[in-house]
Structure 1
């Protein structure tokens, strides 16, 4: 069970401003992993360290590169941080990547941070005060306005105690990530460990994971087992949201999983090549963004090329916010409310970002759909869970289960079920066959169902009614919701059912005064004329010049309403059946048994007619078969 608070802290700042040296001074861990990093004295890729604050809060620290060439590596580590150590060297002050890193933190929704003035030992007090004032001015209007500014020297250790105290204060204010939701761990590293196999690392955004769990690698959708876990370099049985976590995965090579992939609870999330978003263009962006603008899209640890299409305007000016759709050349696995960053395609610099509103758009945005799109996305922007669920269900009736809102609304499975349950109890939604429908859809469906049956009665007045499969095809709705509507109409007494056939309550088939009046009469005449060698349905259709479908309806009408019998494929009139019974009575007065040959001779028919007819009389008890002969039954 989780017993301690875990937070993730990120560093940000210009190249060579002392981020990595600061982390080593705080934790004793050198986050420069690669030989090239050590040789060049700059962080190229992500580095990780950890420490325990004086209060006992455990902190994972993500050291990100400051050089503009490695900004995409910085973006891979900037997600999921609880607060930032914003590093500015006292001897240089604000520099280009200082601004770019600040923009990244803002668009990713970072709320808290501490400004760390490093290299204090290289400047005098007067200079330090000038830099402080310059930094305060630079941070006005940002999330770091009013944040603590702590001068430190990683070389002498001066200021580190004060920094740790400020980190502890901030840590007490931060709400830890929830372990109640599904597992989401964006992969930022993948490597092989001899004797163990593939290991991936990342910051656990939500949920928890245990040794032995089966998880899903997205976007591929491959399911694998977790063989082992580490948190901050120590083996554990379970890891929780907020922890820097390493997973040892079974039956997968390091080439098959890597940065940009997502480790998640199976069955809840789907990848997408489009996202509908709320997008803010940075006030420092030196461009006007129009639809079709090419960008690098950064979501969690994934980078994908894409194009931005504006929904609520024709152009976006620096500092403005708009609704937009981003179309991507690769797959991402977004969840409602996720933050993202966009960089200009060329030159590749950070120009803005925002949050995901619709993680799974069903179609590309087109100008002719603008009003519809605006209405839908505006609801998503409002953040009311019930309104959003209703909006989705009205847009896609019968296509969404409660579980889909784990991704569409960033809820835990339990929260999704609860929201749906409340809407069902309030009469706003209907849950049928695991899928959701708005209540008005169900009301409309009942009306359409009644109309479809009534229309069928008018088109085929001699038919008993319409079967459920035909209704399903006509109405294009899934079986569960159709059955629900049928049950309700039956209970209301508006329709009745017999043998799977539905009809309006009180409806009686009739040929009089309808198109079928003459064909029915002619069919009766034909059947009477044929006597003991009656026609099949197909023959009736040919003789009357009607379709086989119409002939089938006529036959069903004659059988159900006029006392005709369909034996095998042959249609017998009531008078023919009575004549055969009379022949049988006369025979059994004279003789106790009846052979097939005798029966054929009486009727003057072939075995084709005689055998099915005898079997029919056996089935209704008029005759009883004994070997190859018949004896008298209830005649």
Structure 2
């Protein structure tokens, strides 16, 4: 093509027309990412930036975010094709007048963004179309939008590389860019972003394993694939990577014990269904192991389970708990009341045999020791509903409260502590905490003269 003679221009125009016809229609509901190519000041208006609006729409009054600064800016005015507009929709060249933003706050290569919709990253894995990955120099320049950022290059596979950017950019999965060698004035190739939050390559063989993963990616957002690779991730993080959550189809057959692909498992956490099912099985195994190793404990602490399962948030542990397990007082354990260790169950049975006909007599402390009921064993029996604790080392059988109310209701009302003690055939050691417990539960009411009445 000659700009001097015009030779080849018709063919160039025709090729550009064919290329433009193949481009997808812009999505007006997408978030805005306006790469700034110029910034200047207009007298009486303030700072103006220009760029190409490739997706979404801009309106006067919109609040945007300055990439890299998390700094809000507001649109004061819009111009497109030389005319003032209240709104501009993609694709369009636009001039944006920003309210209260100094000109030196932004320049070429910066970007104006829809707040909270982009992941700022300085590490990306990309697919290269051009020079072989192994032949690339260690440093190049990445051109994306209007930004030109130096990058360090680490080849992974024949056509996949990892780029370490000199400064973070708001990149999405599927973005296209160029790699250029400024020293040789050579374009090394075009790249397509495959991952904007890649895992670290810390172990031997990690780079080769990562190359195998990248060989299966095509740069198109894939919710199911992202969940398989990441296992657990917040929906907001996926959206900021450029992976739609609500717009992709849900798994055709939701798993019985796991979520559909786009259904959060807890809060905004999404999970791969197979991984979520395995976590549920692992949680059950961990709780059972803890019960075997600590038979008198009231369950496994939620935080300990979170660490054992390598979960980032305790709400995920809570979401994994299913019957017959339950969460109580920050611990996960069996919900059944017959889950007492065998030795404790035998000791409780001996208490029932010895005191069943004397329900308001409590074993003395030394008798509890003889029975093998120390503080931890008593605590386990109380949690299982096998014993009722009135005070330290003062325990009764669990149905004692209801029986006591029936006996006390037969006394002349009101009644004294002494009358209650005699009617219940018990000691002051038991009668005092027993009546106080009945008061707290509303079964009896204490009067100003210390007498009591049964509340009917």
TM-score (norm. length: structure 1):
0.57
Partner of 2:125 in structure 1?
Answer: 276
From 128, 136, 152, the equivalent of 1:289 is: 136
Separation (CA, whole Å) in 2 of partners of 1:621 and 1:398? 48
From 64, 73, 76, the equivalent of 1:227 is: 76
Partner of 2:214 in structure 1?
Answer: 377
DSSP 3-state at the match of 1:436: strand
Separation (CA, whole Å) in 2 of partners of 1:309 and 1:544? 69
DSSP 3-state at the match of 2:250: helix
Partner of 2:247 in structure 1?
Answer: 418
From 394, 403, 428, the equivalent of 2:228 is: 394
Q: 1:166 to 1:425 in 2, by over 3 A?
A: same
Alignment check: 8 A CA contact 1:520 1:554 kept: no
Separation (CA, whole Å) in 1 of partners of 2:206 and 2:375? 48
Separation (CA, whole Å) in 2 of partners of 1:274 and 1:119? 43
Deviation at 1:185, TM superposition (A): 0.9
Deviation string for 1:199-226 (max 9, x for gaps)?
A: 1111112111111111121122222221
- Higher helix proportion: 1
1:630 corresponds to 2:454: no
Alignment of 1:339-358 (within 5 A): 339-344=176-181, 346=183, 349-358=186-195
From 159, 163, 168, the equivalent of 1:326 is: 163
Separation (CA, whole Å) in 2 of partners of 1:171 and 1:511? 75
Separation (CA, whole Å) in 1 of partners of 2:310 and 2:202? 26
Deviation string for 1:311-359 (max 9, x for gaps)?
A: 025xxxxxxxx21001122112222232222333646654434222212
From 79, 99, 118, the equivalent of 2:3 is: 118
RMSD, aligned CA:
4.6
Partner of 1:263 in structure 2?
Answer: 112
Structure 1 unaligned regions, length at least 5: 1-114, 121-127, 133-148, 151-161, 314-321
Partner of 1:204 in structure 2?
Answer: 53
Separation (CA, whole Å) in 2 of partners of 1:519 and 1:474? 34
From 438, 441, 445, the equivalent of 2:279 is: 445
Q: 1:441 to 1:366 in 2, by over 3 A?
A: closer
Q: 1:352 to 1:464 in 2, by over 3 A?
A: closer
Partner of 2:436 in structure 1?
Answer: 615
Separation (CA, whole Å) in 2 of partners of 1:296 and 1:544? 79
Partner of 1:251 in structure 2?
Answer: 100
1:574 corresponds to 2:400: no
DSSP 3-state at the match of 2:166: strand
Deviation at 1:475, TM superposition (A): 3.3
Partner of 2:340 in structure 1?
Answer: 510
Alignment check: 8 A CA contact 1:182 1:265 kept: yes
From 294, 312, 318, the equivalent of 2:157 is: 312
From 529, 536, 546, the equivalent of 2:364 is: 529
Partner of 1:178 in structure 2?
Answer: 26
Q: 1:325 to 1:189 in 2, by over 3 A?
A: same
Q: 1:422 to 1:176 in 2, by over 3 A?
A: closer
Separation (CA, whole Å) in 2 of partners of 1:623 and 1:502? 35
1:594 corresponds to 2:416: yes
Separation (CA, whole Å) in 1 of partners of 2:333 and 2:277? 19
Deviation at 1:166, TM superposition (A): 5.4
Deviation string for 1:21-43 (max 9, x for gaps)?
A: xxxxxxxxxxxxxxxxxxxxxxx
DSSP 3-state at the match of 1:363: coil
1:429 corresponds to 2:256: no
Partner of 2:357 in structure 1?
Answer: none
Separation (CA, whole Å) in 2 of partners of 1:468 and 1:170? 60
Separation (CA, whole Å) in 2 of partners of 1:551 and 1:217? 61
Deviation string for 1:527-575 (max 9, x for gaps)?
A: 83349xx99xxxx9xx9999xxx944532314644433244xx241228
Alignment check: 8 A CA contact 1:463 1:553 kept: no
Q: 1:169 to 1:452 in 2, by over 3 A?
A: closer
Alignment check: 8 A CA contact 2:339 2:384 kept: no
TM-score (norm. length: structure 2):
0.76
Separation (CA, whole Å) in 2 of partners of 1:520 and 1:295? 78
Segment drifting more, 192-201 vs 465-474: 465-474
Partner of 1:49 in structure 2?
Answer: none
Task: Give the total of aligned pairs.
Answer: 431
Separation (CA, whole Å) in 1 of partners of 2:305 and 2:447? 46
Structure 2 unaligned regions, length at least 5: 355-361
Alignment check: 8 A CA contact 2:172 2:241 kept: yes
Partner of 1:565 in structure 2?
Answer: 389
Deviation at 1:615, TM superposition (A): 2.1
DSSP 3-state at the match of 1:268: coil
Separation (CA, whole Å) in 1 of partners of 2:119 and 2:154? 22
Deviation at 1:377, TM superposition (A): 0.9
Deviation string for 1:587-608 (max 9, x for gaps)?
A: x979955379x99xx9677xxx
Separation (CA, whole Å) in 1 of partners of 2:156 and 2:395? 70
Deviation at 1:305, TM superposition (A): 2.0
Separation (CA, whole Å) in 1 of partners of 2:379 and 2:66? 59
Deviation at 1:296, TM superposition (A): 2.3
